[in-house]
Amino acid sequence: MNYRIALLRGDGIGPEIVDSACQVLDKVGQKYGHTFSYTPYLMGGCAIDATGEPLPQETVDGCLASDSVLLGAVGGPKWDTLPGHLRPEKGLLGIRAALGLYTNIRPARLYPSLAAESPLRADISAKGVDLVMFRELIGGIYFGERGRTDDGKTAYDTEKYSAFEIERIAHAAFRSARLRRKKVTSIDKANVLESSRLWRETVHKVAQDYPDVVCEDMLVDNAAMQLVKNPAQFDVIVTSNIFGDILSDEASQVTGSIGLLPSASIGDSTRGLFEPIHGSAPDIAGTGKANPIATILSAAMMLRYSFSLEEEARCIEQAVDGVLEAGYRTGDILGASKAIPLNCTEMTEKILERI
Ligand code: IPM
Ligand code: MG
């Protein structure tokens, strides 16, 4: 079977890491008898340079015509002074919304072979970290009404959620928990925010459909603390767009490197958007220092969530595990180890060999 993948390579290290992930997909395709065809489209800073806008219509149409979308990263200092509606990030938010991708799945797992890289105290990291965050992706303050008063001296952004928006992400989280350790932690700020009170009520209603899954609430400030104090307590987390943005960076760091963590954004169809959770790292772009693992693992998530190719997804994940266990490191996960850091191409080669 042939799968048509739209590539949004983006800016900074984006093109290098997407290239690595495509090599890995091709290798898996050879092994299992699938082909992947790739069509690149512009999004982010590169699209601004070429067309004047961060998300050209051609890109939206191309993604809608594809079976799934693989994204590198967007943004960089070059575009940081542009007005909000023309920034590279606007392209990313626009494509998430245009494809209806309301569920953002961000797993954070502490690799035993990398435990020394975690900033957690050894007695805390020894208990392990294996959680997955379900972040609502196309609602809340990111998409609420915003503006400034006429004198420009007051600005506002609006956090707003409907029960419908909360229900669909909650169902996604509970379904996933059923396949894992059967616990959902819903994170909100219900002691202050009305939108959080609706969030909590709605999650509780959804929870009634999943009596086999434990559901607990946690206030976001406490959650920020619990993630470093006792991350082993978390299985599935479900939360709003902005809280999920912040907490997923925190969760990623407890695992030792943001360079390892993939993400999937999905909606009601099988077409999704798969991207590393890290940014475009303009400071190391073109130097070969980028860690391709997060993007390679994002490609594995694409196989799983868009194409239902579970065995193929696991094959990639096991290759990555094997390479890390064998002690191969890129510079960002070198830590105290005495390994010679591999560059992006060499790390990709090591993973290809194991597939
Ligand atoms: C992320 C990023 C984006 C977000 C930015 C680049 C708009 O931080 O994917 O977490 O805030 O969603
Ligand atoms: Mg973020």
Which residue stretches of the chain have pLDDT < 50?
Answer: none
pLDDT of residue 113: 82
Ion ligand 2, residues whose Cβ is below 5 A away: 245
pLDDT of residue 338: 78
Distance between Cα 281 and ligand 1 center (Å): 14
> Could you check whether 1-102+261-355 and 119-254 share the same CATH topology?
yes
- Inter-residue contact 162 to 267 (CB < 8 Å): no
- Inter-residue contact 47 to 53 (CB < 8 Å): yes
pLDDT of residue 270: 95
Distance between Cα 277 and ligand 2 center (Å): 7
Q: Is the CB of 245 under 6 A from ligand 1?
A: yes
| CATH code for the domain defined by 119-254 | 3.40.718.10
Q: What are the pLDDT digits (tens) for 54-92? A: 999 999 999 999 999 999 999 999 999 988 888 999 999
How is domain 1-102+261-355 classified at the CATH fold level?
A: Isopropylmalate Dehydrogenase (3.40.718)
Domain spans, the chain: 1-102+261-355, 119-254
Q: Which residue among 55, 89, 103, 250 has the greatest number of ligand 1 atoms within 8 angstroms of its CB, and so is best to mutate?
A: 89
Which parts of 11-102 are beta strand (E)?
Answer: 35-40, 68-73
Q: Tokens for 206, please give them.
A: 């959804």
Active site residue 142: yes
- Inter-residue contact 354 to 323 (CB < 8 Å): yes
Among candidates 140, 175, 171, which has minimal Cα distance to 158? 140
Which residues are 216's β-sheet partners? 185
Question: In Å, how far are 91, 257, 299 from 64, measured between CA atoms?
Answer: 15, 32, 18
pTM: 0.94
19, 67, 245, 332: the catalytic one is: 245
pLDDT of residue 329: 93
pLDDT of residue 84: 83
Main-chain dihedrals φ then ψ at residue 307, nearest 5 degrees: -115, 0
Which parts of the chain are beta strand (E)?
Answer: 2-10, 35-40, 68-73, 103-109, 130-136, 146-148, 155-157, 183-188, 214-219, 236-239, 262-266, 273-276
221, 229, 268, 283: the catalytic one is: 221
Active site residue 189: yes
Residue type (1 letter), 277: I
Q: What atom of ligand 1 comes closest to residue 275's alpha carbon?
A: 9
pLDDT of residue 258: 74
26, 130, 217, 249: the catalytic one is: 249
Q: What are the pLDDT digits (tens) for 93-150? A: 999 999 999 999 999 999 888 888 888 999 998 899 999 999 999 999 999 999 999 9
Among candidates 281, 275, 244, 279, which has minimal Cα distance to 262? 275
